[in-house]
Amino acid sequence: MQLIKMAWRNIWRNKVRSLAVMTAVLLGLVAGMYAGALVEGIMQSRFENFIDNQVSHIQVHHPDFIRENEVFQTVGSDLRTLEEVRAISGVTSATVRTRVQSMIASASYTGGVELYGIRPKSENQTTNFSRNLVEGDYLEGESTNGILIGGALAEKLKVGVGSRIVLSYQDKDNNLVSGAFIVRGIFKSGFTRYDEMTAFVFQEYLNEYLGIGQDFHELAVLAEDIENLDEIYSELQKVFPNSSVRKWNEIEPALEIMITSSGLFSYIFIILIMIGLAFGLLNTMLMAVFERTREIGMLMAIGMNRRKVFLLIALETIFLSLSGAIVGLLVGYIIVAWFAKHGLDLSAFSDVMYELGVDTVVYPALNPSFPFVLALIVFGTALLSAIYPAIKALSLSPIEAIRK
């Protein structure tokens, strides 16, 4: 107890230096926390946009459809199954689609697209697709030859709402079929490549051309919460024993790659900051020990044992860093919490944010365990950087030290 008091007082004997070290720890922590939360927030926004508006949480296909893309490789047509899927607890919504690779042509351009036949209503409940429309209308009402295309594709095709375009694809007997469609609406999903490669039509209309009745190739399921995905997954496997049921990370491995690598980057960054802090702390304490050679020698000469000297110096280092750390964690938490509520407006980067599929207002998200992990790292850093100066203090010889 005596030692703790002494260490604490020693810290305040040199206010400027102590405050400088504390400020470094504080700023490092606040900034580290904020940067970590910001990266996490951007990733989450990207993830949510991608899941909620494109891939959904789980998809069901014919086991060979993913690789072979054959028109006849459908999941089935039993519409009761869709009801069954919706009834699974934890499922927000589900929709079915017909998918076919197709050539799309206007007077000025010919290209390939992935053509989706959708049920406009349930599609919208699942992917909220209509919100992406920037021109024209969403598919509604009676099944017609209306088509929705991406903005990037519309530019290439040089078409607008009301234009006629021709699509060619193979039907289930591998005959080449062509059909004319009228552009009803133009969308921008936030992913340019996707906008270039994708088009949407009425499922009913497309199925007639393909000759596959009520069949569908893809069933997309949106879950309420990503936490209980495994249960829904196993339920779906029961409903579709002969089909391939895949979760988002199997459907889009690129997304997982991105999340993993950016997470790794944040951690490396935090570690770099901590190394920087530790080194600053170590150097400062080392210098302080040398500066106080005489004082420490005196303490030893009047009978303070070595263990206590060691503890005293170590405690000083730990107090220095921990008082900075506690304030830092608190301030960081408050700042992050404020931005998490009000959002950080990054519209200066709106083009890129759009390209990356991130909303322009980012809400930094603090992983609840993050502050604790950070506190633990700081504590570890403080302990490590406390040891060396304390050892140095021990190696002083009292007699020589006093004479200085």
Partner 1 sequence: MILFKLAWRNLWRSKRRTWITISSVLFAVLLALFLESMDRGSQEVMVQNVVRFSTGYAQLQDTLYFDESHIDNAMLCDDDCMEKLLEDFPNLAYTVPRLESVALAAGDEKTRVGFITGIHYESENRFNNIGERMREGHFFTGADDEVVIGTGLARSLDLKVGDSMVVFGQGFQGAMAAGKFVVAGLVQHPVPDLNERIVFMPLHQAQWLFDAFDRVNHLKLVPQRLRHHQRLVDAINAHPDYEAFKAFTWEELQPELVQTIEFDQAGTLVFLLILYVVIGFGIFGTVLTMTLEREKEFGVLISLGMQRRKLAQVIFTETLIMNFLGVLFGLLLSIPVLLYFYYNPIPLGEGMEDMMAEYGMEAVLRFSLDPQFFYQQAIIVFCISMVIVAYPVARVLRLDVLKAARK
**Residue 77 near partner 1 by CB under 8 A:** no
Distances in Å between the Cα of 237 and the Cα atoms of 69, 225, 228, 243, 246 are 21, 18, 15, 8, 10
What are residue 344's DSSP bridge partners?
A: 362
**Residue 254 near partner 1 by CB under 8 A:** yes
Out of 87, 272, 373, 376, which residue is the one contacting partner 1 (CB under 8 A)?
272
Out of 7, 11, 24, 393, which residue is the one contacting partner 1 (CB under 8 A)?
24
Distances in Å between the Cα of 151 and the Cα atoms of 6, 46, 52, 285 are 70, 20, 20, 61
| Minimum distance, C-beta of residue 288 to partner 1, in the bound complex (Å) | 6
| Minimum distance, C-beta of residue 5 to partner 1, in the bound complex (Å) | 23
Size of the site for partner 1 (CB under 8 A): 64
Out of 76, 280, 343, 398, which residue is the one contacting partner 1 (CB under 8 A)?
280
Burial (0-12, 13-18, 19+ Cβ within 10 Å), 224: middle
- Of 139 and 358, the one with the shorter C-beta distance to partner 1 is 358
The residue count for the chain? 404
Cβ–Cβ under 8 Å, residues 77 and 274:
no
Out of 9, 83, 137, 279, which residue is the one contacting partner 1 (CB under 8 A)?
279
**Residue 290 near partner 1 by CB under 8 A:** yes
Write the DSSP string, 343-390: -EE-GGGHHHHHHHT--SEE-----TTHHHHHHHHHHHHHHHHHHHHH
Phi, psi of 116 (to 5 degrees): -105, 130
**Rounded to whole angstroms, how far apart are CA atoms 7 and 12?**
9
Out of 5, 14, 367, 372, which residue is the one contacting partner 1 (CB under 8 A)?
14
User: Which part of the chain contacts partner 1 (CB under 8 A), choosing from 62-70, 122-130, 132-140, 310-318?
Assistant: 62-70
What are residue 244's DSSP bridge partners?
A: 61
Q: Exposure string (b/e) for 350-378, b if CB count within 10 Å is 16 or more? A: eeebbeebbbbebbbbbeeebbeebbebb
| Minimum distance, C-beta of residue 272 to partner 1, in the bound complex (Å) | 5
| Minimum distance, C-beta of residue 40 to partner 1, in the bound complex (Å) | 13
Strand intervals (E) in 190-345: 198-202, 218-223, 244-247, 344-345
- Mark 188-227 with x for binding to partner 1 (rule: CB under 8 A) and - for no binding: ----xx---x------------------------------
Residues numbered 295 to 324 that lie near partner 1 (CB under 8 A) are: none
- Mark 347-376 with x for binding to partner 1 (rule: CB under 8 A) and - for no binding: --x-xxx-xx--------------------
User: Which part of the chain contacts partner 1 (CB under 8 A), choosing from 49-57, 116-124, 201-209, 254-262?
Assistant: 254-262
User: Which part of the chain contacts partner 1 (CB under 8 A), choosing from 46-54, 119-127, 233-241, 278-286?
Assistant: 278-286
Out of 160, 213, 253, 380, which residue is the one contacting partner 1 (CB under 8 A)?
253
**Rounded to whole angstroms, how far apart are CA atoms 71 and 97?**
12
Q: Which amino acid is at 247?
A: K
Write the DSSP string, 178-202: EEEEEEEEEE--S-HHHHHHEEEEE
| Minimum distance, C-beta of residue 291 to partner 1, in the bound complex (Å) | 4
Q: Which residues bind partner 1 (CB under 8 A)?
A: 14, 16-17, 20-21, 23-24, 27-28, 31-32, 35, 39, 67-70, 101-103, 108-112, 156, 168, 170, 174, 176, 192-193, 197, 253-254, 256-257, 260-261, 264-265, 268-269, 272-273, 275-277, 279-281, 283-284, 286-288, 290-291, 349, 351-353, 355-356
